[in-house]
Amino acid sequence: MDKMFGGVNPRQMQGMMRKMGISQENIIAERVIIEKKDGERIIITEPSITKIKMQGQTSYQIAGEEKTETEEVGISEEDIKTIMEKTGCSKEIAEKTLKETGDLADAIMELS
């Protein structure tokens, strides 16, 4: 019999957690992707995921191999030319602003 937590076996621990209103569920997944507001993505491969419900709240515990990607904003020459025409700025400034804002209209508004 496998003992843990001061002599309480895992089955007893699950029973005690249920009595306290805590439930756990393992989730099978290939990967977890967290998309941050700055465009960076955290990708966790071969994750071990536990869904925990306690006192009306649901939380997730995730473990696995982590890698980070930066999402590149698609920039077309046509968009750069449009920004240059509308604002009179240089190509370098138009491209830099478009990369920062990620949106043609926002880039024009920022440079106007």
Residue 37 lies inside a defined structural domain of this protein: yes
Q: Is 9 helix (H, G, I), strand (E, B) or coil?
A: coil
Q: Domain total for the chain?
A: 2
Residue 6 lies inside a defined structural domain of this protein: no
Question: What's the pTM value of the predicted model, to 2 decimals?
Answer: 0.53
- Residue 77 burial by Cβ neighbours in a 10 Å radius (0-12, 13-18, 19+): exposed
Question: Domain span at residue 27?
Answer: 22-70
The tens digit of pLDDT for each residue in 42-100 reads: 999 999 999 999 989 999 999 999 998 876 656 889 999 999 999 999 999 999 998 88
Residues 55, 36, single domain; the answer is yes
Residues 60, 82, single domain; the answer is no
